[in-house]
Chains A and B, each alone.
Chain A
């Protein structure tokens, strides 16, 4: 759409482009970024980091800070401890619905930040999670309906899925003795000589990376049917067994608008032709220097969660395909040099093609490693909650 401009850019401008960077004027390395919720019924987890320069590709956690939740009038103080660099957690707490609380942060450089005192929002529970298969794929919805007066929601989710390799194997390459650099072919299960399962069944997981928010402003009742995720037909996530844990948070109106703005601001990355982006801050302010920019909206709310499993067998022709073909017609000799060469090509043994006269392996078939070893795409450790 904006290509007309390209001509303009090119029009006599071939040498008119120069580097230009503006340095952010904030304290130290960047503005403080505060993410998380104050959980009125459970563990509060807050992450602190700093903004970085545009050219940087790392997260800059803010360590050594002190975080407290303070009650108004009742003198209650709940402290938090740093469990990982930049991640601060509290005990399981239950807050008084009638009392207002605020979050206070004191960073290692003795600057103080806080939210306003607020009562918490009681998030209604997630009634159900549902899914619907369409010709194009599958959609998952969260349903929350209640007499609650909460009008704005944020959904975060953690997804886990089981997936399988295209091929099973009996065999593997191992070093004859550690450090020798000479490899041989062996049965993975030397005792039973049975098929290995540790390379066949794996799990993968992912947390939400987009901002999922819903408003019921325009609805007659506060019934939420929020699309959470969708997958195109054939996706690996639903190839065996899929699970999603949806976490639902009630938001204040200001909190909702904060996320709307953040979502729009970060849909695209800084091209001059994009729509007007705007400054984003949130509900924290710096006490030490009121003009300092602090990013983040820490909602005082409760969390509700629900888990859903979707078994591939419940789906209609999901059509998941792996890019793996059989190579039966090309057996390889059991030879150290041959094995080294195969390893270089990321090929692994699967079945025996020809036995020696004494029942040893004379020739074997190979497959691409990614078609056999699922650990390349996930972990073979079964999660606790997995059925």
Chain B
């Protein structure tokens, strides 16, 4: 949230006076107070929000005391001796600028990129607001970036914040701005291949990321075989990825938290935008319902990709594919201390192959959030319902035509409180409850003519609860500490029949000793324990800091997948008496430096991570429709380590970043009592282990209307288990496999390029339009996605498969109104 686009107003001749219409009276003692604390306290006392460039102000300390003074007087005292000016508008907003006086007005400022209300934000996420302000003398559309210099100054490490403007600049497949693709370009984040938006963060598997979209957990963040992410970029404000020190408020996944924050609708006037690309079309509408109080934001996207499938060989011409997603965000402000937000999200994917085999999946999420200010404590209560399901059906052969489906849903209630104790301590605390219901699988005959026997795996349910407390403590001007403690508890609940196994022996079907039955709401198994989150920062001088963190996590829900990428047939499994939760510990250390007036940021981080009870699969594991999955999985120990380097230029005609990551994730299964040893108990790479990874993203703006973007990425090929020979044993020919993940597919390299042309910038025209042209994979390199083997005429032949075997041009047209 930290690169905030500041307001700019065009040609405002309104010479509004700095107003002091406030009636609040403030008393207080401010000794050696930094701007952040000063504004926080003033905000608490007055309900006014502050907007400023933290870079300009965070070196200043304030020393004064006031008794029963209005806000304007307090600010005059505070800034009187400096070259800072302040302005207060009619909406309880305070703007602080340097060098030139500020005038507030009722005009609306917009940035070009997203046409949202441009605004600066206070540095605290719970008080984020949009704002408008004008700087006198600014004559043309210009933008000022306010940097909170987070790279160096923040205590949290391993956090990657990307605003939507950056996301939209990166050239992507078919010109569809993609949130996850950009996250993938940051260090420490990888994916197994092109057709996957499953994230592997610092050696974590794709299910170890908590993906939150407006507080809702998204189980499958992909559209169309993983080629697009399921988030409509027009509705996204900002993306935060926490990969090393995760705030105590988040939990339940080992590797990372990806928090995608949607924006609010415009509370002033109706606006909209529409876009059309090769595969998708989209529409966004927003505006006030009650002016200045209630707003809505609606977005929808849909594909019309069928024409592409028509280009396939004749036997597939009856195939269809499509997806859509719909978002509706409502927000309402009751008063300065009460706001509610309601969000709804629905995404759906459906493919039909040869009109007889169908795959479909859906995410459904609704949430309601109430933010209330209790004096010095700001509280947020969120409740909601998340649901993910897939079903596949085949009517290819009427005799065994089937319907197969899976569903997971969760109902949750969260409370999060922030307490500004004083200028050195900010305390947050809260609770988190999730009630899961899983339908692990049902296989049903498609119709009466099918002989498929109905098979339904009984539901699973569980309660995951957590309480947490965290403290951000500024020990001194240069040293800060952030500590968090979270206690999570997981109850696996009946009704359920759970197999029992011979103790100390591998869990196999042969070793089942009996079945234990649990009635409704009866606790079948409880897991739990404390999680620690500690990070610290020490600043040397002003532009250089070191940070360290230690982080522990527990995960009670696991994805079962027999493909390396995320697939629509992946299912989820709750921890139960036979499947232990995963645990992870991570230590990391980083150095950060800002150059050239903080416009260039350099960061270098190293980490080491241990994972316990990571689920891998036994040879020949059956995952779908398995009543006793525990017999097909095996707990492994994981070890991940790596180094991440990033250099990022935030502003200027040329901006972008370069990142390089070295990372390994190695697993080991060396306990003969747990099941077969994998690779003789030696360490082996997980199937998403890609040691080297480098990405360059560069944007060059020629002028206001024309810019170029480039994206180049290289990574080591992922590991794969290959058949390498055959032999005759026990009466048959058998295939000899190499070591688990003992080979690698060839390395990956791709370059994309795009040109953005904006229409004219006349202020008063109703429609603004822009074009994006580009080429995906400009070198046409056939990057292998996988290697596979088929039996052909008694011999086994290997093939290398590329998803995109050539350069793919694209064009997108966007219109805003």
Contacts and interface: CB of A to CB of B under 8 A. Distances in A.
Interface of A: 1-24, 30-31, 33, 35, 49-57, 59, 156, 207-211, 214-215, 217-218, 257, 259-281, 295-296
Give the size range of B's interface with the partner.
35 or more
Given A19-B799, A264-B620, A270-B723, 16 more contacts: A1-B392, A4-B353, A4-B359, A10-B312, A12-B803, A15-B805, A16-B805, A20-B787, A33-B729, A262-B734, A270-B796, A271-B788, A271-B790, A272-B563, A277-B723, A278-B676
Interface string B712-753: 000000001111111111111011111110110000000000
Contact of B623 (A10, A20, A275, A281): A275
A278 B803 contact: no
A207 B511 CA distance: 29
Nearest to B805: A16
Contacts of A20: 784, 787, 798-800
Nearest to B729: A35
A214 B795 CA distance: 32
Contacts of B563: 272-273
A224 to B, nearest CB: 12
Contact of B726 (A7, A54, A218): A54
Interface in B653-680: 672, 676, 678-680
Given A11-B225, A17-B800, A59 B735 contact: no
B512 interface: yes
7 contacts: A2-B569, A7-B316, A13-B801, A218-B513, A261-B676, A277-B620, A277-B735
Nearest to B737: A277
Contacts of B805: 12-13, 15-16
Contacts of B732: 209-210, 266
A211 B740 CA distance: 22
Contact of A281 (B505, B620, B680, B797): B680
A8 B730 contact: no
A16 B723 contact: no
Contact of A35 (B567, B632, B730, B788): B730
A16 B738 CA distance: 25
A270 B735 contact: yes
Contacts of A2: 569
B725 A54 contact: yes
B570 to A, nearest CB: 11
Contacts of B731: 156, 207-210
Given A7-B309, A8-B195, A276-B619, A17 B799 contact: yes
B622 interface: yes
A10 B313 contact: yes
A17 B308 CA distance: 19
Question: Mostly helix, strand, loop or mixed at chain A's interface?
Answer: loop
A180 to B, nearest CB: 40
A59 B801 CA distance: 30
A217 B673 CA distance: 13
Given A4-B225, A13-B802, A33-B729, A278 B736 contact: no
A218 to B, nearest CB: 5
A33 B733 CA distance: 12
**Which of B506, B672, B790, B799 has the most CB atoms of chain A within a 10 A radius of its CB?**
B799
A8 B222 CA distance: 14
In the A-B complex, the 10 residue pairs with the closest CB atoms: A264-B620, A209-B731, A16-B805, A270-B789, A272-B788, A20-B800, A54-B796, A270-B723, A16-B802, A51-B725
B742 A279 contact: yes
A58 to B, nearest CB: 9
A353 B370 CA distance: 100
B725 A31 contact: yes
Q: Which of B795, B798, B800 has the most CB of A within 10 A?
A: B798
A250 B501 CA distance: 23
Contacts of B632: 275
Given A12-B805, A16-B802, A218-B513, A209 B730 contact: yes
B319 interface: yes
Given A12-B805, A261-B676, A278-B737, A4 B726 contact: no
B616 interface: yes
A9 B563 CA distance: 14
Contacts of A218: 501-502, 510-513
B721 A33 contact: no
A211 B725 contact: no
Interface string B17-36: 00000000000000000000
Contacts of A8: 195, 225, 803
A5 B786 CA distance: 12
Contact of A22 (B506, B738, B804): B738
B208 interface: no
A329 to B, nearest CB: 38
A257 B790 CA distance: 27
Contact of A54 (B618, B724, B730): B724
B526 interface: no
B672 to A, nearest CB: 8
A279 B741 CA distance: 10
Interface string B349-369: 001010001010000000000
B568 interface: yes
A24 B728 contact: no
B394 interface: yes
A40 to B, nearest CB: 20
B800 A19 contact: yes
A272 B786 contact: yes
A105 to B, nearest CB: 16
B789 A33 contact: no
Given A13-B802, A18-B782, A49-B727, A295 B736 contact: yes
B617 interface: yes
Given A4-B353, A280-B737, A275 B801 contact: no
B120 interface: no
Contacts of B728: 33, 49, 59
B791 to A, nearest CB: 5
A279 B739 contact: yes
A56 B799 CA distance: 17
Contact of B743 (A22, A57, A277): A22
A260 to B, nearest CB: 7
A106 to B, nearest CB: 20
A18 B799 contact: yes
Contacts of B790: 270-271
Interface in B454-508: 501-502, 505-506, 508
B511 A16 contact: no
A14 B730 contact: no
B380 to A, nearest CB: 39
Contacts of B619: 261, 264-265, 275-278
B212 interface: no
B453 to A, nearest CB: 15
B801 A16 contact: yes
A158 to B, nearest CB: 11
Contacts of B734: 262, 265-266
Contacts of B211: none
B740 A276 contact: yes
A54 to B, nearest CB: 4
B148 interface: no
A3 B309 CA distance: 15
Nearest to A54: B796
B228 to A, nearest CB: 13
B562 interface: yes
A217 B319 CA distance: 49
Contacts of B351: 4, 7
B246 to A, nearest CB: 30
B653 to A, nearest CB: 35
B723 A54 contact: yes
A21 B797 contact: yes
Contacts of A15: 805-806
Nearest to A58: B728
